[in-house]
A and B are shown apart, each in its own frame.
Chain A
């Protein structure tokens, strides 16, 4: 058995070298297919990170009426903190709101003059609420419609972030769909090339195969080198892909991190931790599909 496996490996190697350029094209096409799949994967990770980044910055400002009792504000803040969806609640008193307004509009004398003319502090206290997820805000906002707090609240500000998130999702979903379509097209082309490579292999070896059959080679002995050859293609293309991915990810990670204000995307770490699984699964999938294409080619052209 071991001897037969060695010989099959030898014949598979001969197939590879005798059709070297065709083998190279097949591997290139498989690498291209894997590249689109991995770009999709990175895109997925970056999108998640982008959404997380935006979500971390989403906050709802709850503006209270001027002159509302501090106790009411404290109770509302306490009520919100008890909600499992709420990550943090910051209280800005009326005086702090007044000061912040002054700082924000320090260069605008018209506004500052108007503020002075009013005389009293026109601002009420404000609660700045942060949630764990953007999806939690509708619930938080509806919770504030509770009659216990509703009358004390002047306004709630949220909508613009919702739009940003939905835009990110919309754009990435479209890119993802395009990438998926591209992957399927590349995969189909790759399979056609694998089919053709095996067909050429059978043609190149027709004399040898004829003699093999004549002298009593078993069917699997004749077929196995072709299957082994495409497993080799799949393995080589996955290794090339992995070798290309790591330095590319390492290079891109620093750019992504600076884009997200220094927040680490941990892309490389993700690939280091899940590399075996990611590239192992990709190898298995490509090998399986290539073997199916080989099966079709052998059924059509290799009459054993």
Chain B
């Protein structure tokens, strides 16, 4: 599903993003990538949805070699990968429904399908009742659930969550993590990037630890050790 082979990312002039990273994530896995700030977690996550390209090495995602991917194939790759960010990235002037529908609109999906899929996905994230609300009328946890719903509308094979609980309190954090686990149970590979110790420790899933841009630990059913 996801394979990194001797991947390096150097930002000009000579700043190391990640160094010599090799890893393999199987379909349906739930993997946490942990590390302190500036250790390369986000760089690695950005490579998963082609926001960053490696300086050297090979990155294979769902059959796509992103080191050699053509520009017009990038959108097709991104439709197979859901992305959730700490800062939500919702459009404030659009309702919950419109924000989620936006992902399908830009992909050219017909209105009929949008009207069918969006309410379904919003029900999965428990926002079926708040379909007409605007982002500012929602709590942080609810906003993050809208983002998760938006990332799910394409039925992605991979969900990349980059610090999804960074702006949330413990109750909302718990809700979001339960949601991510549920999505993983449906078969979606989840890559969680976080430095939240409690979240990682309660998951009991695979943990990859980054330090200085390198993988220093990769443990099945691991814990946050830094």
Question: Considering the complex of A and B, which 6 residue pairs feature the smallest CB-CB distances, nearest first?
Answer: A217-B106, A216-B79, A215-B103, A216-B78, A4-B108, A216-B75
The answer to whether A207 touches B91, judged by C-beta atoms less than 8 angstroms apart, is yes
CA distance A54 to B47 in the complex (A): 77
A68 to B48, CA, bound (A): 106
Q: With contacts A213-B78, A219-B75 known, what are 14 further pairs, Cβ within 8 A?
A: A3-B111, A7-B106, A211-B89, A211-B91, A212-B106, A214-B49, A214-B78, A214-B83, A214-B89, A215-B78, A215-B107, A216-B77, A216-B103, A219-B71
Interface contact B72-A219, CB-CB below 8 Å: yes
In angstroms, how far is the closest chain B Cβ from the Cβ of A116?
A: 100
**Cβ-defined contact, B105 with A7, below 8 A:** yes
Q: Mark A1-23, 1 if CB is under 8 A from B, else 0.
A: 10110010000000000000000
B-side interface residues, number (CB < 8 Å): 23
Question: Is B223 part of the binding interface, using a Cβ–Cβ cutoff of 8 Å?
Answer: no
**B residues in contact with A3, CB < 8 Å:** 108-111
Chain A positions within 8 Å of B150 at CB level = 215
B188 → A minimal CB distance (Å): 16
Contact for A215 among B72, B76, B79, B110, CB less than 8 A: B79
Interchain CA distance A180-B110 in the complex, whole Å: 49
State A219–B76 Cα separation when bound (angstroms).
11
- 15 A-B contacts (beta carbon < 8 Å): A1-B108, A3-B111, A207-B91, A211-B102, A214-B78, A215-B78, A215-B107, A215-B151, A216-B76, A216-B106, A217-B75, A219-B71, A221-B106, A221-B108, A304-B71
Report whether A215 and B108 are in contact in the complex, using a CB–CB cutoff of 8 Å.
Answer: no
**Bound state CA distance, A208 and B72, in angstroms?**
19
- Proximity bits, A216-230, B CB within 8 Å = 1, else 0: 111101000000000
Interfacial chain A residues near B102, Cβ < 8 Å: 211-212, 215
Most A Cβ at <10 Å: residue of B72, B91, B105, B109: B105
Within the assembled complex, what's the spacing in Å between the Cα atoms of A211 and B79?
A: 12
Q: Is B154 positioned at the interface, with any CB of A under 8 Å from its CB?
A: yes
Cβ-based interface call for A280 (8 A): no
- A214 and B75 alpha carbons, distance in the complex (Å): 8
For B76, B89, B108, the residue with the greatest tally of chain A CB atoms inside 10 Å of its CB is B108
Rounded to whole angstroms, the CA-CA distance of A211 and B107 in the bound complex is: 12
In the complex, what's the smallest C-beta–C-beta distance from B40 to chain A, in angstroms?
A: 21
Asked if A210 is at the interface (CB within 8 A of a chain B CB), the reply is yes
Complex-state Cα separation, A4 to B154, whole angstroms? 17
User: Nearest residue in A to B92 (C-beta to C-beta)?
Assistant: A207
A-B contact count (CB 8 A): 53
Assign chain A's interface to a size class: 10 to 19
Tell me the bound Cα distance from A7 to B102 in angstroms.
10
Give, as a whole number of angstroms, the nearest-CB distance from A7 to chain B: 6
B79 proximity list for chain A (CB < 8 A): 215-216
Residues of A201-252 at the interface with B, using a CB-CB cut-off of 8 Å, are 207-208, 210-219, 221
* Chain A contacts for B106, CB-based, 8 A: 7, 212, 215-217, 221
Check A215–B91 contact: CB distance below 8 A: no
A212 to B74, CA, bound (A): 12
Cβ proximity bits B84-127 to A, threshold 8 Å, 1 near / 0 not: 00000101000000000011011111110000000000000000
Give every chain B residue within 8 A of A217 (Cβ-Cβ): 75, 106-107
CA distance A221 to B109 in the complex (A): 13
Contact with B along A48-68 (1 / 0, CB 8 A): 000000000000000000000
The answer to whether B91 and A208 touch across the interface, beta carbons within 8 angstroms, is yes
Bound-complex Cα distance A221 to B76 (A): 13
Which A residue sits closest to B94, measured CB to CB? A208
How far is it, in angstroms, between the C-alpha of A3 and the C-alpha of B77 when the chains are bound? 22
Which residue from chain B places its CB closest to the CB of A1 in the assembled complex? B108
Q: Which residues of B contact A211 (CB under 8 A)?
A: 89, 91, 102
Query: Please, which residue of chain A has its CB at the minimum distance from the CB of B111?
Result: A3
Q: Chain A residues near B151: list those with CB within 8 A.
A: 215
Tell me which of A7, A207, A218, A219 contacts B89 (CB under 8 A): A207
Which residue on B lies nearest to A210, using beta carbons?
B89
Inside 8 A of A218's CB, which chain B residues have their CB? Answer: 72, 75
Interface residues of B in 124-183 (CB under 8 A from A): 150-151, 154
User: How far, in Å, is A14 (CB) from chain B's closest CB?
Assistant: 10
Which of A1, A207, A210, A215 is within 8 Å of B154, CB to CB?
A215
In whole angstroms, how far apart are the Cα atoms of A213 and B154 in the complex? 14
A window 64-113: CB within 8 A of B: none
CB distance from A131 to the nearest CB of B (A): 66
Most buried by B among A207, A212, A214, A304: A214
- In the complex, chain B residues whose CB is within 8 Å of the CB of A1: 108
Which residues of chain B are within 8 angstroms of A208 by Cβ–Cβ distance? 91
